Structure 1
Amino acid sequence: MSSRTLTRLAVVPAATAAIALSIVAPASAHVSASVTEASAGAYTVLTLSVPHGCEGSPTTRIEVQVPESVFSVTPTRNPFYDLEATIEKLDEPVTDAHGNEITERTSTISYTASTPLPDGQRDTFELSFQVPDAEGEVLAFPTIQTCEKGETAWTQIPTAGQDEDELESPAPSFTILPASGEGHHGDEASASEESDDSAEPASDTSDASEAAEADEAGDSDSSALGWAGLGAGLLGLVAGGLALARTRSTT
């Protein structure tokens, strides 16, 4: 086999391996966001994922900035962090969908680590809230990651027409989808369940009534059978007496 042929055979696997590595190589790991429900008006749980430290330094604090269109946030407890919420007054009161007046909002949620998060490990932070009724809007949660040495501000928000991949430190975000139309609190399902529950006693009453009627019918049938048996017994006695009388008369 010629040296040229051997060279060609060696080049093919090397090129294939290079292509495979380029496909599976992970992109730059940012602080990312995922939600259980993105529909407008729905209640959701946002999960922020912190995959690494600051250039190798362990993470000591995570501060999440809440969008202005979100008024109330309920954070999930994390056993390795002390949690603190910052509340601010609104310039003007806002009326929610239930007619309640809102005068303040949660502006930031901060997690301070009791034990620093090592660079080679990841952690998640959850926030529960109602998705604003703003279909198509990108809801961003700028996050500042503080480490033992340095910090990374994941706060960049793409401008109109700009690709998020072009940003060095994009803010975690998601796009609000159209309302599902199934109700924000599951009221319809609850009402259906309550309706079913309320119908159960009526069903039980009906069953009890039918059982009572069956018992009465059974009692009636038993009584009729008893009287019939008594009548048959009396007829038997009479027949026996007549037979005895005839026997005596013939003798």
Structure 2
Amino acid sequence: MTTRRTLARLGATAAGTSVLALGLVAPASAHVTVTPSDTAAGAYTVLTFSVGHGCEGSPTTSIAIQIPEGINAATPTRNDYYDVEKTVEKLDPPVTDAHGNELTERVSTVTYTARTPLPDGYRDTFDVQVQLPEDAEGADLAFPTIQTCEKGETPWTEIPAEGQSEDDLESPAPAFVVTAAGADAHGGGDEAADETAEETSAETSSDTEASGEPAAEASGDDSGNGLAIAGLVAGVAGILVGGFALLRGRSTTA
């Protein structure tokens, strides 16, 4: 009995220590994060930014997301609880996009301002669509974000130096690694499917002409009709011969 009580007390102590440890690390790990729908270079992707807490207990009033250079357009999704605004900056010199259009300005920041402050202990998400740079394969793409609260603010803007990881930083910027371009990044998959369908159709047509199956079917029908006619003619001839033989026999008997 004593042993059981001792183990129970040790278990309760260990559990309490674990809960305390989790409580200590939870705020540190609850950064502003970004989750892309696609990470391939050149792909159009929807970036979901997640905010999990306020500024040391103070409700969140705005989230300002900085768009890195190399991304010229950003399309934010509307949120019922926030007003959204895009800040535009001039491009000097202008750049040419993937469609050959000359761009003289780009979206540099997307800001969500709360109509009703987001209480600490509640989370929210913000979606922004962008096209990832075509030459960014392998790059760690960061989106420095400023979280402003009723009291104070938290700049999620730290970028790891060489040899560092996000875990080494107190307020890391939301970021992810850009992967290799996909085959269908610009609709190549649909074009490839159309080409495959055309090739399949051409091969089918070629095989039909080479095999001569339609001609064989026509030949078979003609042969069947000829045999039927020949059989009919032979039957009529037999009847005529039989009738002639019968009449001759009767004449001889008489």
TM-score bucket (shorter structure): 0.7 to 0.9
Partner of 1:65: 66
Q: TM-score, normalised by structure 2?
A: 0.75
Q: Which moved more, 1:5-14 or 1:202-211?
A: 202-211
Does 1:83 pair with 2:81?
Answer: no
Partner of 2:178: 176
1:149 Cα offset (Å) = 4.9
Q: Relative to 1, partners in 2 of residues 1:111 and 1:232: Cα closer, same or farther, differing over 3 Å?
A: farther
Partner of 1:128: 129
Q: Structure 1: how far apart are the matches of 2:199 and 2:165?
A: 55
CA contact (8 A) 2:81 2:116 kept: yes
Does 1:230 pair with 2:232?
Answer: yes
1:79 Cα offset (Å) = 4.1
Q: Structure 2: how far apart are the matches of 1:138 and 1:183?
A: 22
RMSD over equivalenced CA pairs, Å:
3.5
Q: Structure 2: how far apart are the matches of 1:80 and 1:243?
A: 111
Partner of 2:47: 46
Q: Secondary structure at the match of 1:88?
A: strand
Q: Structure 2: how far apart are the matches of 1:118 and 1:162?
A: 32
Q: What does the per-residue CA deviation read over 1:195-220, in whole Å, with 9 as the maximum and x for residues that have no partner?
A: 12324654676799777546523531
Q: Which moved more, 1:189-198 or 1:116-125?
A: 116-125
Does 1:21 pair with 2:19?
Answer: yes
1:137 Cα offset (Å) = 3.4
What does 1:106-185 align with in structure 2 at a 5 Å threshold?
106-132=107-133, 133-177=135-179, 179-180=180-181, 182=183, 184-185=185-186
Partner of 2:197: 197
1:225 Cα offset (Å) = 3.2
Q: Which moved more, 1:102-111 or 1:158-167?
A: 158-167
CA contact (8 A) 2:72 2:105 kept: yes
Gaps of 5+ in 1: none
Q: Structure 2: how far apart are the matches of 1:147 and 1:79?
A: 19
Q: What does the per-residue CA deviation read over 1:9-68, in whole Å, with 9 as the maximum and x for residues that have no partner?
A: 455324542564367555321111122333444443322111223444443432211112
Q: Relative to 1, partners in 2 of residues 1:81 and 1:234: Cα closer, same or farther, differing over 3 Å?
A: farther
Q: Secondary structure at the match of 2:227?
A: helix
Q: Quick one: percent identity of the two aligned structures?
A: 54
Gaps of 5+ in 2: none
Q: Structure 2: how far apart are the matches of 1:192 and 1:165?
A: 42
Does 1:12 pair with 2:14?
Answer: no
Q: Secondary structure at the match of 2:158?
A: coil
Q: Relative to 1, partners in 2 of residues 1:82 and 1:242: Cα closer, same or farther, differing over 3 Å?
A: farther
